[in-house]
Amino acid sequence: MAASNPSGGGGGYYSPGGWHIPPQTPPTRMHPLPPATVPIPPIYHTPQQVQYHNQWPGAVPQTASAAMRYQHQAPRGVPQSPISYQQQPPAGPDMPSVLISLADTYINTAYANGHKTALGSDAEVKAYYKLVATGLQCLEMALQHRLQPRVEAMVRLRHASILYEETNNLDEAEESLNKAILLAHRNNLTELKCSLQYLMVKIMFKSNHKAALKILSSHISDVETLDIPLWAYAFRLLRFNLLAQMSPARDDQNAISTLRTVCTMSNERRDMQVLALASIMEAMVSLRNGADGVEAAQRSLARVFTQQNGGNQITPQLEVLTQVLDICCSVMLGKTQECDPKIRKLHNMLDQPERWINWREDAEFEVLVNPSRHGRPTESLKLRWLSRDEVFTLGYFLSGLCKFQKNVEENGKAERFLTEGLKTVERKKEGSVQSSLEESKNKLYWRWTLKAYMYLYYAFLLSMRTDWDSALKVFKQLQEVGSLLNLAPDSPLSLQIAYLDAVIKHGTNDLYNALCLYNFIIASLPGDHELSIISKLNSILIQRIHNPPAAENLLASIERLGVTHKNELLRAAFIAVKATERGSLITTKNYLSTALRQAAAAGNVQLTFIVLNFMCHRFFNGVISEQAEKSAKAAMQNAKKGRDTLWTLMGGQMYADCLARKGNEIEEVRQRQMNEDARVQVVRNLVRNFPPSQQLPVEES
């Protein structure tokens, strides 16, 4: 996630808080912006009473200048000539001020419509770029005049930041920045020089990663020598940003090493908010490794919790983000029981009115930094994460994930959370926040991505309770959103969508196409990836019927990973598949007992009633006993609670058979009548992909 300027593009400009971080993929990454430079001089602001004849560069204000408005008074005793005032040339308008003010007007007008333009027509995009181009021309004309060194450097910074954000003309941006850096160096404008260097590194990184990182290291050394801790933090966090973003230069280990240096420095200087920020960022990078990175992420978050327990307060944004990451850790490990108290804590946070008092509409917040010397004011890094509405949308999504396994047990609570999240993301309004077109597109992409994930998990919930008609409907909505994202076929979201498609085809008896999709996912991912492992488990269930040797080989290939994996849900699924292979009764019994215990511990209701059905079939098929009857009845009732028609029918038929063997004909007939509704639904679903000529009436099937 690249840093950019809310008013003028990628590098930011005159104000310490002018730099920001647009938020992106769940959970969100957050990166720093350079600290304050210097206040913008009055030359950047035009008095409100000035009216322009026309909105074009160099338009002359109608109001007279102060010198022209001043009525000349001659000294007393000296006769006044009636033409003395007329002989004095009137002072002209301050053209640099006018041009710079016009540039701000054009750019701000364009950015005021940034969110609308992101969804608009080609004509609106053309109008947007016309405003930006006119603003750039105004700045270029202003630079042709003689300006004070500070003002000229700031105008060049503004000019280069817009070029970086809105155009591909990076050479011109570099040229302008080089002149400004030299000017700032000559006039000892240290902090402004750092702002210029910050943007220069970002521009260079687009074309030459190694050179940009090398120059950035020299900048870090310089500000540490000059004892400017604010810029030392900013440059190191920029280095982390560049190393962690998706590019050929991505290096998570060096990124984490950079953050640990920030942690050490902030701990020594007692900059506790910076320490919390760096720890949170380290946790976010660690979670990229899936369940294997959770332990490292939890260690990083533990530093933040220890800090909070010690009485050190952090900003509300960082506090919420810490809780979000803590929830993600439990979700990624499949620890359903841990999720409930954590999501309740997040709900309590979001329900506190005082938390939102200082939560700005543009989502910007400050991280305080102690001054380098006593007596100086406290400084701050400014960052941008999520707005209030976006935080609530993310909260609904996480709530749906935490309630995923208990959805049926709690009467569809997970589905209601996701439905409300979809409503929130649809009605999200950008308000009066200004942003560039590129930033608006990034925010829109983030919203579409979150919307796609909510549709994805909503369809999984419907599949779990075998509502295949609704699942197919939601899947079509997911495909529509996915088409807006232009996803690569092997991207994480694309592969998860493919997995959902395979699950629906598997559940609706389109086994050939389901197996093809599972194989595609397996070929696209490393062998130890969670999605690859679960795809192999599903493939095994299909191939056991059509190709038993292939199923056995595939199961053997993932046995080590399945037994030792850190995700409890995945381990339970592997044990269940392992238990259902043909083997000795003792071995099968041990595996089934383990699978049942792990499924219950993980809170996986679906896996529980599947294992119960298989246990009844394996050990009590044809047996006349009270235990066999209880086993079949338990399997049926658990599947019925899970609203799974297929396994409800399986358990119901086994229970009816037990009653028949026992000689209880009345109860048997009653049970078979109760099974009929489930049988009709199951048969209709299983033949939905058959050609019409092969489909049988439900009564015959």
Q: Using 50, 70 and 90 to split pLDDT, how confident is the model at 295?
A: very high
Q: Is 47 helix (H, G, I), strand (E, B) or coil?
A: coil
Q: Which pair of structure tokens corresponds to residue 316?
A: 């509300």
How far is the C-alpha of 385 from the C-alpha of 319, rounded, in Å?
12
Instruction: Report the chain's mean pLDDT, rounded to a whole number.
Output: 84
The arithmetic mean of pLDDT across residues 405-411, rounded, is 90
* Domain map (residue ranges) of the chain: 573-701
Q: pLDDT digits over 589-639, tens only?
A: 888 899 889 888 888 889 999 999 999 988 888 888 888 899 999 999 999
Q: Which pair of structure tokens corresponds to residue 25?
A: 């993929």
How far is the C-alpha of 464 from the C-alpha of 458, rounded, in Å?
10
How far is the C-alpha of 261 from the C-alpha of 693, rounded, in Å?
70
Q: Which pair of structure tokens corresponds to residue 652?
A: 């119901």
Minimum mean pLDDT among 41-55, 511-525, 537-551: which range? 41-55
Q: Using 50, 70 and 90 to split pLDDT, how confident is the model at 313?
A: confident
The arithmetic mean of pLDDT across residues 79-105, rounded, is 69
Q: What is the pTM of this model?
A: 0.83
pLDDT of residue 92: 61
Residue 370 has pLDDT above 50, yes or no: yes
Stronger pLDDT, 354 or 522, i.e. the higher one: 522
The arithmetic mean of pLDDT across residues 516-531, rounded, is 95
Minimum mean pLDDT among 68-77, 470-479, 522-531: which range? 68-77
pLDDT of residue 421: 96
Stronger pLDDT, 378 or 153, i.e. the higher one: 153
How far is the C-alpha of 599 from the C-alpha of 520, rounded, in Å?
28
Q: What is the rounded end-to-end Cα distance, in angstroms, of the chain?
A: 56
Residues 6+ apart with CB under 8 A from 191: 35, 36, 37, 38, 228, 231
pLDDT of residue 430: 55
Query: What's the Cα-to-Cα distance from 330 to each of 115, 302, 377, rounded to whole Å?
Result: 35, 14, 41
The arithmetic mean of pLDDT across residues 510-518, rounded, is 95
Q: Is 266 helix (H, G, I), strand (E, B) or coil?
A: helix
pLDDT of residue 77: 39
pLDDT of residue 432: 62
pLDDT of residue 345: 96
Residue 1 has pLDDT above 90, yes or no: no
pLDDT of residue 35: 38
The arithmetic mean of pLDDT across residues 100-113, rounded, is 94
Q: pLDDT digits over 200-252, tens only?
A: 999 999 999 999 999 999 999 999 999 999 999 999 999 999 999 988 888 99
Give me the percent of the chain exceeding a pLDDT of 70: 85
pLDDT of residue 692: 56
The arithmetic mean of pLDDT across residues 270-278, rounded, is 95
Q: Are 205 and 242 in contact (CB under 8 A)?
A: yes
Residue 523 has pLDDT above 80, yes or no: yes
Burial call 172-203: b when 16+ CB within 10 Å, e when fewer? ebbebbebbbebbeeeebbbbbbbbbbbbbbb
The arithmetic mean of pLDDT across residues 90-107, rounded, is 86
Give me the percent of the chain exceeding a pLDDT of 90: 67
Phi, psi of 279 (to 5 degrees): -65, -40
Q: Which pair of structure tokens corresponds to residue 353?
A: 């009115």
The arithmetic mean of pLDDT across residues 173-200, rounded, is 96
The arithmetic mean of pLDDT across residues 467-492, rounded, is 95
Residue 635's nearest CA partner among 667, 661, 583, 596 is 596
Is the four-CA dihedral 7, 13, 16, 22 of positive or negative sign?
positive
Q: Using 50, 70 and 90 to split pLDDT, how confident is the model at 476?
A: very high
Residue 170 has pLDDT above 50, yes or no: yes
Q: Which pair of structure tokens corresponds to residue 629?
A: 């009857």
Q: Which pair of structure tokens corresponds to residue 517?
A: 């999709």
pLDDT of residue 40: 29
Q: Is 388 helix (H, G, I), strand (E, B) or coil?
A: helix
Residue 325's nearest CA partner among 261, 282, 354, 361 is 282
Q: pLDDT digits over 410-466, tens only?
A: 999 999 999 999 999 887 665 568 889 999 999 999 999 999 999 999 999 999 999
Q: Are 435 and 450 in contact (CB under 8 A)?
A: no
Q: Using 50, 70 and 90 to split pLDDT, how confident is the model at 691?
A: low
Burial call 429-444: b when 16+ CB within 10 Å, e when fewer? ebeebbbbbbbbbbbb
pLDDT of residue 23: 34
Minimum mean pLDDT among 161-165, 232-236, 373-377: which range? 373-377
Q: Residue 254 carries which side chain, given as an amino acid letter?
A: N
